[in-house]
């Protein structure tokens, strides 16, 4: 199965670019709240220089994971866990914000979560047939119009686009992490580590993150306890006290995606322009043998107006 890497297996599905993959020009000032929100969940990370990326062959060279390079980042604070449904609900309540998924009136849902009548052939992606563009799927209805988040208030918010994440950040007085900040934080102070806690996927036989076990995409054995999203803090934190930097949901970063990197960089912010934004961390759909993008050096991207059932975000603050 290791040879299926070109297929870009589980990772995020994109809205077609012709539907207008644009960065929203919402007025950040209008959304901006009076105070910085949810600071109690943040941890301070001291800046430093680290070895970013990987040259390991198990990675995806086409994703631009390498070469390994020296990157320096300033100190910052970062959410210890992804923005939850509970938090996103406060934002929407206060601002009346409408997400991209609600504007398009559809979002991508993984097939196993859908009743038969929502698995319409004409709404199924051809290259990645486990994704359906489901009408009425949005952050409040993660598995289609009849679903709810009632029992998932402490799960990461999903079906949020990069635009939506930026809007939340503006309201919360925060910002999205740069890709370099994200990886520095995910490594948790370790060097050349494969995962946020070390190199081995299991520690003492225990699962350390929410990814896929079993035969993708049909049978998830749920060895780690979850078929879809897990509540935040379901797994142990890394050395910086950060939860689920690996697995659970992909997380939006501020940068436009590119495959080339500077050999040395200080506070890199990515290219000026691009067509897709960086996402990091992998999700509950990543499988060890198929799409091991739960690794700390792994990366992917999606267009800024795309939303899926396995992508969320966390915020950072300068300090
Ligand atoms: Cu994956």
Whole-number percent of the chain with pLDDT over 90: 83
Sheet bearing 264-266, strands edge to edge = 48-52, 69-73, 264-266
Instruction: Using the mean position of ligand 1's atoms as its centre, give its distance from the Cα of residue 65 in Å.
Output: 14
Length of the chain: 319
Residues 256-283 have a mean pLDDT of 94
Cα 121 off chain centre by:
27
Tell me how far apart the alpha carbons of residues 50 and 183 are, in angstroms, rounded to a whole number. 9
How far is the centre of ligand 1, averaged over its atoms, from the C-alpha of 125 (Å)? 16
Rounded distance between C-alpha atoms, residue 71 and residue 128, angstroms:
34
Cβ atoms of 255 and 277 closer than 8 Å: yes
pLDDT at 11: 76
Q: Is the pLDDT of residue 69 over 60?
A: yes
Please tell me the distance between residue 38's alpha carbon and the centre of ligand 1 in angstroms.
29
**58-62, 73-77, 94-98, 232-236: least confidently modelled range:** 58-62
Task: Reply yes or no on whether the pLDDT at 264 is more than 70.
Answer: yes
Residue 212 Cα to ligand 1 midpoint, Å, equals: 9
In this structure, the strands spanning 250-256 and 311-312 are: parallel
What's the CA-to-centroid distance between 283 and ligand 1, angstroms? 6
**pLDDT value at residue 289:** 79
- The model's confidence at residue 26, banded by pLDDT at 50, 70 and 90, is low
Q: What is the pTM of this model?
A: 0.95
Question: CB under 8 Å to 187, separation ≥6 — which residues?
Answer: 50, 193, 196, 238, 296
Higher pLDDT, 230 or 264: 230
| Ligand 1 centroid – CA 282 distance (Å) | 5
pLDDT digits (tens, 9 = 90+) for 119-146: 999 999 988 999 999 999 999 999 999 9
Residue 256 CA to ligand 1 centre (angstroms): 19
Say yes or no to pLDDT of 3 above 80: no
**pLDDT greater than 90 at residue 263:** no
Q: How confident is the model over 168-198, as pLDDT tens digits?
A: 999 999 999 999 999 999 999 999 999 999 9
Question: Cα(242)–Cα(92) distance, rounded to whole angstroms?
Answer: 25
Q: What's the CA gap between 127 and 176, in Å, rounded?
A: 30
Residues 227-254 have pLDDT tens digits of: 999 999 999 999 999 999 999 999 999 9
pLDDT for res 211? 97
Distance from residue 198's CA to the centre of ligand 1 (Å): 19
Alpha helices (H) in 173-240, listed in sequence order: 179-187
State in Å: Cα 319 to ligand 1 middle.
32
Instruction: For residue 71, count CB atoms less than 10 angstroms from its CB and return exposed for 0-12, middle for 13-18, buried for 19 or more.
Output: buried
* DSSP designation for 82: P
**Residue 305: beta bridge partners?**
none
DSSP element (H, E) containing 94:
helix 85-95
Per-residue pLDDT tens over the stretch 273-301: 999 999 999 999 999 878 899 999 999 99
* Token duo for residue 71: 């990157």
Q: How many other CB atoms sit within 10 Å of the CB of residue 262?
A: 10
CA nearest to 248, candidates 293, 184, 299: 293
pLDDT for the residue 247: 98
pLDDT at 17: 56
Distance 64 CA to ligand 1 centre (A): 15
Whether residue 32 is predicted with pLDDT greater than 90 in this model: the reply is no
CB 309 within 8 A of CB 107: yes
Are the C-beta atoms of 246 and 296 separated by less than 8 Å?
Answer: yes
pLDDT of residue 9: 58
Average pLDDT, the chain: 92
The continuous run of DSSP H or E covering 103 comes out as helix 100-104
* Cα 104 to ligand 1 centre (Å): 25
CA–CA gap between residue 262 and residue 67 (Å, rounded): 9
Q: How far is the CA of 80 from the centre of ligand 1 (A)?
A: 22
């Amino acid at each position: 199965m290791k040879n299926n890497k070109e297929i870009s297996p589980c990772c995020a599905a994109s809205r077609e670019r012709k539907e207008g993959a644009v960065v929203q020009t919402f007025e950040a000032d209008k959304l901006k709240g009076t105070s910085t929100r949810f600071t109690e969940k943040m941890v301070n990370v001291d800046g430093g220089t680290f070895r970013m990326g990987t040259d390991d062959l198990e990675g995806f060279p086409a994703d631009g994971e390498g070469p390994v390079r020296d990157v320096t980042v300033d100190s910052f604070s970062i959410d210890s866990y992804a923005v939850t449904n509970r938090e996103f609900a406060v934002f929407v309540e206060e601002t009346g914000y409408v997400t991209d998924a609600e504007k398009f009136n559809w979002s991508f849902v993984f097939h196993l979560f859908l009743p038969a009548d929502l698995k319409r052939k004409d709404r199924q992606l051809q290259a990645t047939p486990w994704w359906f563009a489901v009408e009425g799927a949005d952050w409040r209805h993660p598995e289609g119009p009849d679903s709810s988040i009632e029992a998932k208030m402490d799960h990461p918010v999903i079906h949020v686009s990069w635009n939506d994440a930026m809007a939340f950040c503006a309201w919360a007085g925060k910002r999205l992490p740069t890709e370099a900040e994200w990886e520095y934080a995910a490594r948790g102070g370790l060097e050349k580590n494969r995962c946020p806690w070390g190199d081995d996927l299991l520690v003492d036989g225990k699962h350390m993150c929410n990814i896929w076990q079993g035969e993708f995409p049909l049978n998830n054995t749920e060895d780690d306890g979850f078929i879809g999203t897990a509540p935040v803090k379901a797994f142990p934190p890394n050395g910086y006290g950060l939860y689920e930097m690996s697995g659970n949901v992909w997380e939006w970063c501020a940068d436009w995606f590119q495959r080339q990197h500077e050999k040395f960089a200080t506070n890199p912010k990515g290219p000026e322009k691009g067509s897709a934004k960086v996402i990091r961390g992998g999700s509950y759909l990543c499988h060890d043998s198929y799409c091991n993008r739960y690794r700390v050096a792994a990366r992917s991207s999606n267009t800024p107006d795309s939303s899926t059932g396995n992508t969320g975000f966390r915020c950072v603050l300068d300090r």
